[in-house]
Amino acid sequence: MATWIAHLRVAENILKKGYNFEQKAFIVGNIGPDYLDYFPKGAFEKQVKYITEFYLGENEESKDNFIYLTEDEMDEFVDKTTRIIDNLLRNV
């Protein structure tokens, strides 16, 4: 499974395509399933804060925790996944 940051980047790219999605709900819906089954009650809110801090560049610790792909590999994955989802949404 892709990391939450990969899901977040793909969701952000899909939102840029102009679909009429409510932004916050769409983003939470894309990262929420990664955490709802694995964390105890209340932990999801903590993860949302952690993810937000990472995304905004406010958490130095998180920058070292998710190095699975090189930057180029991640960009390629996000672009390819965005194209696939965009094509699927256009055909719905």
Give per-residue pLDDT as tens, 30-86: 876 655 555 566 766 776 777 677 666 666 665 556 555 677 887 888 899 889 989
Inter-residue contact 34 to 50 (CB < 8 Å): no
Q: Could you read off the pLDDT of 8-26 as tens digits, one per residue? A: 888 899 999 998 888 888 8
The distance from CA 62 to its chain's CA centroid, rounded to whole angstroms, is 14
Domain region containing 19: 4-90
Amino acid at 62: S
Whole-model pTM: value is 0.54
**Integer Cα distance of 7 and 3 in angstroms:** 7
Counted domains in the chain: 1
Q: Going by C-beta distance under 8 Å and a sequence separation of 6 or more, which residues neighbour residue 39?
A: 46, 47
Write down the residue that tokens 């929420």 correspond to: 32
Report the distance separating Cα 51 and Cα 58, nearest Å: 10
